[in-house]
Amino acid sequence: MDFDLSEELTAVRDLAHGFAEKEIAPTAAKDDGEHTFRRDLVLKMGELGFHGCVIPEEYGGTNLGFFALALISEEIARVHSAIRVYINMQVGPALTLLDFGTEEQKRRWIPPLIRGEALGCFAITEPNAGSDVASMATTATKSDRGYILNGTKTWISNAPVADTAIVFAYTDKSKRHHGISAFYLDLNRSGVSRRTLGKLGTHASPTGELIFENFHIPEASRIGQEGEGFKICMRHLNHTRLGCAAGAVGLARAAREAAVSYANQREQFGQKIGQFQMNQDLIAQMVVHEEAARLLVYRAACLADRKQPNNLEVSIAKYAAAEAAAFAADVALRILGAYGYSTEFPVERYLRDAKSYQIVEGSSNIQKLIIAQDALGYRKANRQ
């Protein structure tokens, strides 16, 4: 694979870098401290085409591809990881509609998502259903006018602010994962309530619960056929994991840059602390983990652009990048010492935000399970 960036991809990366530095960096600390959701940034990124880079032009996208999405996600997360989540919340639902929606659904629902006009989210996790998707309890019962949705979805990014959601629910519980269906919902209607959840990091990206009580779903809002929800969910997660992995690389990069900068400035015992071998050892490990994760993300993105199976490669990239981010953030805090622990510097935010990458879009343990089962031949990740 050739990872040299074309002029077009270089321009996309530079555009994202400049946007992050100009529009996000100046208020990153304030937005995090005040838990501010920046809807204006969702719209601005939509105007620049960030949400539509993997969507064909006929639906309002730019069709630049997954490699472009990875570059954008890294640059945004390097400045403020929470803002990177905004992209996944628009791109994920749009891609699911592109893959499984009818022509009418695509033309109606994709353009507002990629323009940033309709805030999206996707609701899989429940109080008693996380990694085990098939253990969900939410049901969509058939009615004369469509379906009646009942259940609670939790730890949903954008839940407190979203206009729309892709929701997964059982239409036939007797069939286990073959009885799950997917729906695209307008959340600005009666029958749904929301609750914001507090969390350790990613404070500028709101997370919460969606509680559905006799929520009416029109027949036309179902995506795909009844019982295809599990398949749709797995495809959806494969897409969003890639953006998530690229974001983790961006955060690892930010932590490494902070550690290197400080090590070249701070002096102790008559020399810069970067001259101590102990710190050199830590920085070398940060560089290697970051570079390895980036190349794994690029490989997964290239396979996606070629429309080749990449479930295994995405899981490898997601696991490596999440661990690289967590390691780099921890090391940066240790190198900066009290300044790393201080809320006056961004390193403590890096540490808090990094932990989310080991949990969201499939935890690190789930990625290891996928990787190991493929290696052992128990369950091939890239089966057609």
Cβ–Cβ < 8 Å for 147, 379 = no
Q: 167 vs 82, 126, 156, 271, CA distance in Å?
A: 22, 11, 11, 57
Beta strands in 160-266 (DSSP E): 164-170, 180-186, 192-196, 207-218, 222-223
Rounded CA separation 68/249 (Å): 14
Cα angle 61, 156, 167; round to 5: 65
Single-letter amino acid code for the residue at 117: E
User: What totals of helices (H) and strands (E) does the chain contain, helices first?
Assistant: 12, 10
* 257: Cβ contacts below 8 Å, ≥ 6 apart: 78
Which one of 313, 323, 348, 361 is the catalytic residue? 361
**Is 290 among the catalytic positions?**
no
Cβ(96)–Cβ(113) under 8 Å? no
C-beta separation of 167 from 228 below 8 A: no
Environment class of residue 79 by beta-carbon count within 10 Å: exposed (0-12), middle (13-18) or buried (19+)? buried
DSSP structure string for 94-139: HHHHHHH--HHHHHHHHHHHHHTSS---EE--BTTBSS-GGG---E
Please list the active-site residues.
Answer: 361
